[in-house]
Structure 1
Amino acid sequence: MKSLLVMQLIVLLFLAGCVKGITQQRQILENLLATYDVNEWPDADFDRPTDVSVQMFINSFGSLNAANMDYSIDVFLRQHWVDSRLQHSRNRSITIRDPDMQKRIWRPDTYFHNVKDAEFHVVTMPNIQFRIDGTGHILYSVRVTAELSCNLKLEHYPFDEQSCLAHLSSYASTDEIVNYHWVEGIPIDLPDDLEIAQFDLLNYYPVEEVMPLQTGNFSSLKVDFQLRRQNGYHILQTYVPTVLIVSISWVSFWLDPTSVPGRVSIGVTTLLTLTTLAGGIRQQLPPVSYIKAIDVWVGMCMIMVFGALLEFTLVNWLANKKLVDNQTCKIIPVCKSDEDEEAPKTYVNQAHFIDRISRGLFPGSFLLFNLIYWPYYLSNGMHE
């Protein structure tokens, strides 16, 4: 019985100590904020701007959306500054979780200059860390998912390299009030297992600069992400199918010129399939005015398939055209018949001759195009 009472007493003393600690922290904050002006920046009395150090931890990096010219990024945005008005004598830092209390303390009005949409994370609690140590040093960390604009250059798509910015600045405080700096050492913190769909992160370049606007000069931070598109997806989903479609269109050269159903079916089917595939590619890209590498490829494939269909139209016309004058055959000596045979009634020999030429001309032309296309875009895409 006595041991139980002793245990209960210990628990009560522990709880009382916790309550006392919380009360002391609250009392310290209330004393500090009694004469605190949230509208004044920390160094206003010294007539100098407050230095705010920024670090970004990239939690995840969304894939670039070519159609919308943007990308998404999930970051822990960490800001550090010193507010001498909040110096206290407590042995450990004070962590403020009360949103109302946080609003009573000055914070830099940092925003993403090139943001399209953004949101704070609130599951299961608001992802905000607000900590003050004894010297008045403040750590303000928030988790933000932002959709940022990125001016993509797609001339070499899908063999392109892109440069996308994350641009931070103060919305209302000029450089006379807030002066931004990247944290020394590791301004951009990246996890070891960071992956970006369809892209490789080559490098990043943090920059500090002053942004002149009509409303004043604003200190700002930029980080330039250098990205290279991975080609595996596009080769499997675009290039290999189109090569097969073009190759199938050549099968008609081995069919008889008078085999209308078979040759028409091959020509029309391959042309419609290629048109559908090209339409799907266009939906993934913005309607830019310049020609992209994928446009050159699809355009050439369309020419090859359409050319095979036109070739069939020609040979079928020749195969069914009545031969009026045998002297016409002198144009193509191969079409001459044996002396013992009667003269052909149509130009079917000429039609077969054109088919034989096409069997080598079309694949050879497509091979030559590939020998020019791949070295040109692969070399230029790597160094653009």
Structure 2
Amino acid sequence: MWSSFFTQLLALLFIAGCATGITQQRKVLEQLLKSYDVNEWPDADYDRPTNISIQMFINSFGSLNAANMDYSIDVFLRQHWVDERLKNSLNRSMTIRDPEMQKKIWRPDTYFHNVKDAEIHTVTMPNIQFRVTNTGQILYSVRVNAKLSCHLMLEHYPFDEQTCHAHLSSYANTDEIIHFHWVERIPIDLPDELEIAQFDLLGYSASEELMPLQTGNFSSLKVDFQLRRQNGYHILQTYVPTVLIVSISWVSFWLDPNSVPGRVSIGVTTLLTLTTLAGGIRQQLPPVSYIKAIDVWVGMCMIMVFGALLEFTLVNWLANKKILDTQTCQLMPMCKTGEDDESPKTYVNQARFLDRISRALFPGSFLLFNFIYWPYYLSDYNLE
């Protein structure tokens, strides 16, 4: 009986202690905020800007969208500053969860200068951490999913390297009010096994800048990400199929010049297949005015396939062209048609001779193009 009584008494004392602690924190906050002006920055009385230390933890890095020229990041944006107006007598830090209470405390109006779309994670609650120590040091951490613009240079696509940046600044407070700087130790934190679809992260660099605008000079931070495109996908999905399509178009050189259905089917089918594949590639890229490496490759493949189709047209015309002047025929080599001298004479032997030349000319030309194409576009590509 007595043990049960003491157990209930201890439980009541524990609950009362917790309630007293919560009440004490709220009382301290309410007392501090009575004379607190949320419109004044922390160092306004000293007539100096407030230093905001920023660290970014890149939780995930989305793939670059070449068509829209943007990329997405899931980032923990951590901001540190000192507000001496919030010094208190508590021997522990205060974590403020109440959104209404957070609105009563001054916070920097930090934003991404090159943002297209952004949102704060709200599952299962808003991913916001607001912590105040008894010395007035504040940690304001927000988990943001942001889609940022990135100007891509695609002349060497898909063997390109890109530099995308995230640009942080204050929207309304000039450098006389807010001064941003990166934390000295690990300003940009990355997971050990960070993966980016179709890209390798070569490195990054963080810098501080002064951004002059018509409304004033604003302190800003910038981080540049150096990215290299992984070309394994494009080799398998673009280069290998186009090589096979071009090679199939050469099969017509081994068919009889008068085999019209077979040679036409091969030429038209390969040309349409290549056109469809080129259309799929164009949908993945923005309509830029300059020529890309993939355009040069697909264009050359189309020339080879279309050239094979034109070669058949010439061969078929020669094979069915009648020779009316027999004396002229005697002067031309390989003019006679064959065994039956009574049948009309045509240039079929010349047509077959042209086929034999094309069997070596077309593959040789395509091979020469490869010897020029690959060294040119891979010369500046970082293979490490």
Task: Give the TM-score, by structure 2 length.
Answer: 0.97
Distance 2:43 2:330 in 1: 98
Secondary structure (helix, strand or coil) at the match of 2:380 reads: helix
- Partner of 1:133 in structure 2? 133
The alpha carbon displacement at 1:380 in A equals 2.9
**Residue 43 of structure 2 corresponds to residue 49 of structure 1:** no
Task: Check conservation: 1:150, 1:165, Cα contact below 8 A.
Answer: yes
Distance 2:338 2:274 in 1: 43
The alpha carbon displacement at 1:336 in A equals 5.7
- Partner of 2:193 in structure 1? 193
**Residue 377 of structure 2 corresponds to residue 361 of structure 1:** no
Opposite residue 118 of structure 1, the aligned amino acid is: A
Opposite residue 239 of structure 2, the aligned amino acid is: Y
Opposite residue 321 of structure 1, the aligned amino acid is: K
Task: Check conservation: 1:162, 1:228, Cα contact below 8 A.
Answer: yes
Distance 2:336 2:233 in 1: 52
1:53-132 pair list within 5 angstroms: 53-132=53-132
- The C-alpha deviation readout for 1:276-334, integer Å capped at 9, x for no partner, is 00000000000000000000000000000000000001101111111123455578634
Q: Mark the CA change 1:63 to 1:331 in structure 2 (over 3 Å): closer, same or farther.
A: farther
Task: Check conservation: 2:336, 2:347, Cα contact below 8 A.
Answer: no
- Partner of 1:205 in structure 2? 205
Q: CA RMSD in A?
A: 1.7
Task: Give the TM-score, by structure 1 length.
Answer: 0.97
- Partner of 1:172 in structure 2? 172
Q: Mark the CA change 1:300 to 1:181 in structure 2 (over 3 Å): closer, same or farther.
A: same
The alpha carbon displacement at 1:382 in A equals 3.6
Opposite residue 51 of structure 1, the aligned amino acid is: N
Opposite residue 314 of structure 2, the aligned amino acid is: L
Task: Check conservation: 1:326, 1:343, Cα contact below 8 A.
Answer: no
- Partner of 2:349 in structure 1? 349
The alpha carbon displacement at 1:94 in A equals 0.5
Distance 2:154 2:298 in 1: 15
- The C-alpha deviation readout for 1:194-229, integer Å capped at 9, x for no partner, is 000000000111010100000000000000100000
Aligned length: 383
- Partner of 1:222 in structure 2? 222
Secondary structure (helix, strand or coil) at the match of 2:24 reads: helix
- What percent identity do the matched residue pairs reach? 82
Task: Check conservation: 1:159, 1:382, Cα contact below 8 A.
Answer: no
- Partner of 1:14 in structure 2? 14
Distance 1:340 1:264 in 2: 28
The alpha carbon displacement at 1:343 in A equals 8.4
Task: Check conservation: 2:51, 2:179, Cα contact below 8 A.
Answer: yes
Secondary structure (helix, strand or coil) at the match of 2:45 reads: helix
Distance 1:157 1:270 in 2: 24
Secondary structure (helix, strand or coil) at the match of 2:352 reads: helix
- Partner of 1:154 in structure 2? 154
Deviates more, 1:175-184 or 1:85-94: 85-94
Q: Mark the CA change 1:15 to 1:273 in structure 2 (over 3 Å): closer, same or farther.
A: same
